[in-house]
Structure 1
């Protein structure tokens, strides 16, 4: 990569251009552009960054404790697994669940509702066991 290309990359990144646009403009591999930008701290500028969840959730959605973030992974919404479970349990009714199936048990004939599994055959584990291990009278 020539010095002229490096200067153009710096200029285009400061203008907010994406890696792919810079790569096509300079006829250089996109991975080469990414590597150069990473080595020279030419990531996204503050003006081009959108508001992320990291900025939105500065405290736990359940208990309100301040959240700490690592350098990798998704932004946190909860301070602990316990808070996450409690929040979902309390807010279960707010979700629009569309995958409910109304089925009939193959063993007892009782009508039951299954969430997310339209191929379910039994209303309970007991009905499954009865059907599987039922002794036929001779």
Structure 2
């Protein structure tokens, strides 16, 4: 999978501000080798010796984290929303399971920990009470 232009710019900023390749790959959710290849081809090196910082996953700017929030990933809410809207379909949830609805028999995908049995509320009502949502 090729890096997007936004990921390339963020990786460049992280690397120039002293971040390691592994930190940049973890922040941007790309493979380390793919990022190394891009940085080597572009001739981008680490310019500062500060490898302890946090960087925004959208723009790559350095984030000043407080002592209470050391896992901050974005510099602002707008960058958080932009990142999630751009990467919504690239993230595959690992805790999903395929379930069969006991009422209609259709297969649907649900979070593993949700305990969801029915595909929708109407199926639940019909199976539980034998109606289409009203009294028999």
User: TM (normalized to structure 1)?
Assistant: 0.44
Structure having the higher Rg:
1
Q: Of the two structures, which has the highest relative contact order with CA contacts closer than 8 Å and spacing of 6 or more?
A: 2
